[in-house]
């Protein structure tokens, strides 16, 4: 996963205190440890990707999704 994508997502998480930011923070941590997310987590990430309006965050989420789907 591109380090820039991790930074974009982490910046979002640090500047927001929402269920979405907490979930994305968990997913980024999984990308560092190479843990395999559950199907429910991947479905939730897909929903966030579909709903995202911020282009930079959208690309970062797509990168995270691709990395975790390996």
Is this structure's pTM higher than 0.85?
Answer: yes
- Average pLDDT of the residues of the chain: 95
Q: How far is CA 67 from the centre of its chain?
A: 10
| 40, 13, 69, 32 alpha-carbon torsion, rounded to 10° | -120
Return the residue matching tokens 């990168």.
Answer: 63
**Within 10 Å of residue 66's Cβ, how many Cβ atoms?**
12
State yes or no: pLDDT of 70 exceeds 80. Answer: no
Alpha carbons 3 and 12: distance in angstroms, whole number = 14
DSSP 8-state symbol, 31:
H
Contacts of 56 (CB under 8 A, 6+ apart): 8
């Amino acid at each position: 996963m591109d380090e820039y994508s991790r930074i974009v997502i982490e910046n979002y998480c640090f500047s927001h205190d929402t269920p979405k930011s907490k979930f994305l923070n968990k997913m980024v941590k999984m990308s560092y440890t190479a843990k395999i997310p559950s199907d429910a987590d991947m479905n939730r990430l897909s929903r966030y990707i579909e709903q995202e309006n911020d282009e930079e965050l959208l690309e970062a989420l797509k990168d995270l999704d691709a990395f975790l789907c390996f």
